[in-house]
Structure formats: structure tokens, C-alpha cells
Amino acid sequence: MTILDRSDEGAIARLTMNSPGNLNALSDEMLDALQAEFGRLATDKSIRVVTLSGVGKAFCAGHDLKEMQAARQSEDAGRAYFADLFTRCTAVMTAIRDLPQPVIAAPHGIATAAGCQLVASCDMAVAAHGTRFGVNGVNIGLFCSTPMVALSRNIPRKQAFEMLTTGQFVDTARAVELGLVNRAVPPEDLEAETLTLAETVATKLGSAVRVGKRAFYEQLEMGIDDAYAHTGAVMVENMLDRDTDEGINAFLDKRSPEWRQ
């Protein structure tokens, strides 16, 4: 049994966390598997969209607390392990942003702490009704400082701070309202709805989506004048793409485009 399964359906790579015994916790093994797979996907031009789900009762329960406590044999050993752990976890989260393909999370059950961070780090999310989201570390004396980086870039700051300081869950309706997930669907429809969204994105010109995703995150970190200057330059290059030219001509001619990529 592999801890992270991958199955490709055309231009869609479906990643499934497969560690139900610990609620798909981000253990050392899971982090390594995610990082390795994202590394492979980064250079896989045949894949246009990635989905991420989990088996069992939950999407992801965050870090593996038993594994973390076992590493705490001394203060020095614990400090070294924890520093490395959070560095590796950050690398996984930023790898999602840096992937050329959009990544769609499909959470169910619970997505807590670093599991909620994982949802927030994905480009889009379709959640099953009944899913609960939380950054609950404060309940055990561990403030979810790294998860709040992604969370606070997804939802309004006061709502993020409330979640972080109360440790309370939000349900799927509230998660949609806050913008943490795009939509919520019945659990039995989660796989189909996620795949439908992935298929819609996969039909678009791959080169345009790749350059668009990169520009999307770049402009978010800029002031408005710099953002417009940067994205204007991006659109110039996009317009000069042969496939973009074909797409515009096809639209004007009322026919389907014949794209190379």
C-alpha cells in the first residue's frame, strides 16, 4: 500500500492521501510523498490539472502529533526536528502554489491545523457537506502559526484570527461564505463534482493557464500599479503565443481551436 496514490485520467492527475489510520496526517512519510509527487508534476506537461483528496474518515488531520512527540527526546533534538518538519511542510505548501497546474482540493470529514492549511494552499477546493475546518492547535497549547499564513490569505483577517484563537471549527456553509472553499456538495457527489471542475479547467489552453496561475500569485504580492504593469507584460507575451492567436481566430471564425498544447 502506498501512502499517496496517483491515477491519471487524461490531462488530470488525481492524488489521494492513503493513510486512514492516522486520518491522513502530514507525517514525515506523507510530506515526503507529497513533495516528491509535486516535483514530478512540475515537469509533466501532459498534466493540466491536479486534484487532491484523502481516503477514510477525514481529508487530513494535520501534523502527526504522536510522531512529533516521539522526536522530542531532548530540547536540542526536538528543536532540530521541529525546525526541519515545519520547513518541509512549508516546502510542500509552496510547491502547490509553484506548480504550473491548478490544484483542486476535495476535503471531506475534517481538515484541521496543517490539513486546513493544505486546503487553503490549493488553488481551489470542492468540499463535501459535513466537512469541518479548523486551526485547532490553540486547544492543546500550540498556536497554528504556519497554517495561518495560508488561511489568512484565503479568508478575512478577523475571521481567520477568530478561528486561530478560539480553536473552533467552521462548517462547509461557513467555509464557502468565507472563501476557504469554492463550493460544497453532497458527499456522494464529491468525486464527480471535483472531476467536473478539473475537466472544465483541463479543456483550456494549457500554456495560458500556466502563465495565468503564476501571474495570479505574483500580482497578489504587489501594489496595484506594479500589479497592472506586471500583468500587462504577461498579457503581451500571452497574446504573442501561437495557440492564443489560434484561439482568437477560432472564436472569430465560430469554430473549435486547434491547439498544440
For residue range 9-26, what is the model confidence (pLDDT) as tens digits? Answer: 999 999 999 999 999 999
Strands 12-17 and 124-128: unpaired
Q: How far apart are CA 161 and CA 149, in angstroms?
A: 11
| Residue 133: exposure state from Cβ atoms within 10 A (0-12, 13-18, ≥19) | buried
Q: Residue 118 is part of which domain span?
A: 4-202
Residue 150 and residue 220 share a domain: no
Give, rounded to a whole angstrom, the gap between the first and last alpha carbons of the chain: 34
Q: Is residue 96 part of a domain?
A: yes
Q: Does pLDDT of 91 surpass 90?
A: yes
Cβ atoms of residues 54 and 15 within 8 Å: no
Residue 221 and residue 160 share a domain: no
Residue 232 and residue 162 share a domain: no
Strands 4-9 and 49-54: unpaired
Residue 210 and residue 187 share a domain: no
- The pLDDT tens digits of the residues spanning 245-256 come to 888 888 888 988
Cβ atoms of residues 17 and 24 within 8 Å: yes
Q: Which pLDDT does position 157 carry in this prediction?
A: 96
In the predicted model, what is the mean pLDDT of residues 235-248? 87
Residue 119 and residue 211 share a domain: no
Q: Is residue 46 part of a domain?
A: yes
Q: Which three cell numbers stand for residue 164?
A: 486561530
Q: Is residue 137 part of a domain?
A: yes
Residue 146 and residue 195 share a domain: yes
- The pLDDT tens digits of the residues spanning 184-222 come to 999 999 999 999 999 999 999 999 999 999 999 999 999
The residue among 174, 202, 230 that closes a domain is 202
Q: Which pLDDT does position 261 carry in this prediction?
A: 65
Q: Which pLDDT does position 143 carry in this prediction?
A: 94
In the predicted model, what is the mean pLDDT of residues 43-51? 96
In the predicted model, what is the mean pLDDT of residues 134-148? 95
Cβ atoms of residues 202 and 48 within 8 Å: yes
Q: Which three cell numbers stand for residue 147?
A: 497554517
Nearest to 60 by CA among 136, 123, 1: 136
Q: Report the 10 Å Cβ neighbour count for 190.
A: 20
Q: Does pLDDT of 259 surpass 90?
A: no
**Domain count within the chain:** 2
Lowest mean pLDDT among 19-28, 62-71, 72-81, 133-142: 72-81
Q: Which pLDDT does position 76 carry in this prediction?
A: 84
Q: Measured on CA atoms in the order 19, 25, 28, 32, is the torsion positive or negative?
A: positive
